[in-house]
């Protein structure tokens, strides 16, 4: 009787066997490195975890500070995703654009969840360290402004707070004059044969996007067509983004209203009144109004 060959060991099984010592105990991971660890070299965790410098003695300020910094990181990655989507649309690469938009929805959900540690602050808790902010306010965030510009919320006046920071100012000035994500969407649809008005396609990209009846008709026709059409998939991906941005704005409004009521906001803003106005605005407006005509 011929001898059967021994079964081959899968690579992952070999690794597991190698990780067991002679006495049957799991072997410890490699611990001895020259200098910093590869993890630190890649993630720069020691930089991130030493960027917090509270200005008050209140322990809640640390929570506020870290949460705000986490929000800035989410702004950064979402801006990256929307730049990727815009570039892909310029190249008529819809699959890549859809992937980037889909990833950004997960990131927006995580961004919105960042309000959780702050959403239940009492006025007394917030006031304990509010003075540490001085004239600081979230609307001064350069990365958040780039995010808003990509959504078509353009305003040259919002560059003014960054005049003293040349790099941020240059990046914002560039973002102001570039087509928004929605501009690239409409140009993509026009190249696909949809009747996007010429006035919309040729508009000054440095100006705030305003709803157009012709664009509404384009989305109405798209949504009246076959459900599997690519433009519908694009429209739904954008709608998901728009809804999550709306939720972000509303969560910001509720958290601010709970913490400080109708008082003047940080940085001299109108506080709740300003946020209420922002919360009423729809991102990609015709995607919402066209639904009433389908």
pLDDT tens, residue order, the chain (294 aa)? 445 554 444 444 444 445 555 666 777 788 888 899 999 999 999 999 999 999 999 999 999 999 999 999 999 999 999 999 999 999 999 999 999 999 999 999 999 999 999 888 888 988 888 888 888 888 899 999 999 999 999 999 999 999 999 999 999 999 999 999 999 999 999 999 999 999 999 999 999 999 999 999 999 999 998 877 899 999 999 999 999 999 999 999 888 888 888 766 555 555 788 788 777 788 999 999 999 999
Crossing angle for the helix pair 272-279 and 230-260, nearest 10 degrees?
Answer: 160
pLDDT value for 226: 84
Q: How many CB atoms lie within 10 A of CB 252?
A: 19
The secondary structure of residue 25, as a DSSP letter, is P
pLDDT value for 85: 98
What is the 3-class SS of 185-240, one letter each residue?
HHHHHHHCCCCCCHHHHCCCCCCCCCCCHHHHHHHHHHHCCCCCCHHHHHHHHHHH
pLDDT value for 12: 46
pLDDT value for 143: 97
Cα separation, 46 vs 52, in Å, equals 11
- CA 116-121-122 angle, to 5 degrees, is 155
Cite the DSSP H helix spans in the chain: 11-18, 38-43, 45-48, 60-90, 94-113, 123-130, 142-150, 166-177, 181-191, 198-201, 213-223, 230-260, 272-279, 285-289
Q: How many CB atoms lie within 10 A of CB 267?
A: 15
pLDDT value for 121: 83
pLDDT value for 82: 98
* 283 alpha carbon, distance to own chain's centre: 14
pTM (2 decimals)?
0.86
pLDDT value for 27: 78
Identify the bridge partners of residue 20 per DSSP, sorted by sequence position. Answer: 26
Phi, psi angle pair for 51, to nearest 5°? -95, 5
């Amino acid at each position: 009787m011929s001898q059967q060959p021994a079964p081959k060991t899968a690579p992952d099984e070999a690794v597991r066997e190698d990780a067991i010592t002679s006495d049957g105990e799991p072997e410890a991971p490699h611990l001895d490195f020259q200098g910093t660890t590869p993890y630190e070299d890649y993630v720069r965790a020691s930089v991130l975890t030493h960027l917090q410098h509270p200005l008050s003695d209140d322990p809640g300020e640390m929570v506020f500070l870290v949460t705000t910094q986490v929000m800035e990181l989410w702004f950064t990655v979402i801006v990256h995703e929307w730049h990727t989507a815009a570039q892909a649309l310029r190249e008529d690469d819809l699959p890549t654009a859809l992937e980037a938009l889909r990833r950004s929805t997960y990131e927006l959900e995580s961004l919105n969840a960042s309000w959780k540690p702050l959403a239940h602050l009492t006025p007394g808790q917030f006031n304990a360290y509010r003075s540490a902010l001085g004239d600081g306010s979230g609307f001064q965030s350069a990365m958040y402004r780039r995010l808003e510009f990509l959504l078509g919320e353009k305003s040259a006046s919002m560059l003014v707070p960054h005049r003293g920071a040349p790099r941020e100012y240059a990046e914002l000035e560039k973002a102001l004059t570039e087509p928004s994500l929605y501009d690239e969407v409409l140009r993509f649809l026009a190249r696909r044969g949809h009747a996007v008005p010429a006035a919309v396609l040729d508009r000054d990209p440095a100006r705030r996007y305003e709803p157009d009846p012709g664009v509404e008709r384009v989305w109405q026709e798209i949504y009246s067509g076959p459900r599997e059409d690519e433009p519908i998939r694009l429209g739904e991906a954008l709608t998901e983004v728009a809804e999550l941005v709306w939720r972000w704005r509303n969560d910001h409004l509720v958290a601010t209203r709970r913490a400080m009521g109708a008082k003047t906001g940080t940085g001299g803003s109108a506080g709740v009144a300003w946020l209420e106005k922002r919360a009423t605005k729809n991102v990609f407006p015709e995607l919402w109004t066209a639904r009433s005509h389908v």
